[in-house]
Amino acid sequence: MAITLDDERLDETFAALANSTRRSILARLAEGEAGVNELAEPFELSLPAISKHIKVLERAGLIVRSRRAQYRPCALDPAAFEAIASWADQYRPIWDARFDRMETYLQGLDKDDERHDQESENDHG
């Protein structure tokens, strides 16, 4: 099976998302664009370390950087998140079916517990 460009992009995307610092950066960018200094504030990391995280996110297509004179703000790239959602949606029917089966199973356990409680009350009452 040949790996497609989409597969390679998904690999990069999920590798980028595997790091908690990068997820925190994305959470901040969900509030609006920000520069490297602003993104670095909550972390005890050097600016070069934050820049490396930003480059990983940029290579994965999760963020874009614009240029305004010397200021290069980062912003989320919605297309990347749409691709992730689309990929995950193909598994939705499988998970829905599994959750439905689990709900049915748990309801059966509840009925067994109720029956057991009634039998105990009848034995002691």
Summarize pLDDT for 108-120 with one digit per residue, the tens.
Answer: 887 777 776 677 7
**pLDDT > 50? residue 106:** yes
- Architecture field, domain 1-90: Orthogonal Bundle (1.10)
Tell me the domain boundaries of the chain. Answer: 1-90, 91-125
Higher pLDDT residue, 9 or 121?
Answer: 9
Q: From CA 63, how far away is CA 53, in angstroms rounded?
A: 11
State whether the Cα torsion 89-94-99-100 is positive or negative. Answer: positive
Summarize pLDDT for 43-68 with one digit per residue, the tens.
Answer: 999 999 999 999 999 999 999 998 87
Task: Please indicate, yes or no, whether the overall pTM of this predicted structure exceeds 0.75.
Answer: no
DSSP 45: S
**Residue 38: which H helix or E strand, with range?**
helix 36-40
Tokens of 113: 């517990």
Q: From CA 50, how far away is CA 54, in angstroms rounded?
A: 6
